[in-house]
Structure 1
């Protein structure tokens, strides 16, 4: 059963391969290439700093960067580690905002991570099918059943995205990390 779920998740992710940073092609909300490159540089730098920090090595930390805004999700062993991760993020050049959503808890299981991947795929697919939003400008991250939404959106697009996520079974909570335009 677990192998089948894993295979299904991997197949669902094939269309998303290479889409860690997604930009719209034209119009409002467009991120120029230099901003996308800056986001990638911020993510690489922060990952390196987290990996070099022994106190964070036992945690499970996800780093998402969109328009120089950092989102930290996952689990760390204690409050000091959570604060340390946020400090590392704030100290990276060009970071304008840090949203620290790390939980002080045991790391999630492989089964939970597969379920989170499945939820993200399901949500992305439904957003892509919607005519009311440009799903390419919304990043979806799921951690332990909590869905985080990032991107450059109008208020009506945000509400549409939230409505789509609400209709997906298995979502525990929705956290908006949008930048409104």
Structure 2
């Protein structure tokens, strides 16, 4: 069987690189998980390529995705970032990032790490779905709905069930690569 790539990534070199090296690889590092939360929540209503192209801007604007530093950001920081063209200049999303950093830290404190909290939703296992075509990929699942509801209860914003499913795919809790995709069998390390 000829190996291919998932069709969603074929539009640009940035997409292909992201697909081949990051998407679907399990993430256990809290700072990397926070980065993915920031980027996924920023993407809501936009194309993922827009966010990939602004990733370095986000990295600079949000202290290399350090949740402790982001949690300490102020209204003045928000006012500054609303005019920063290197990120999506959406006040509510910027405020949500700061809010979510605080919620993220509370979860980390309660569970020992955000990673421990997050991976408990799948019993610390990768959910490997059978995906033959792009149309087989769900936008939302029962698990992403449960995860989103729990995040909302804990104060998170801009992270509904669809965004949470995208987060679960991006961070490797869910493997939704096509069955014959070159990236389907990346090593999974618990």
The TM-score range, normalised by the shorter chain, is 0.3 to 0.5
TM-score, normalised to structure 2, is: 0.37
TM-score, normalised to structure 1, is: 0.38
Which structure dedicates a bigger proportion of its chain to strand? 1
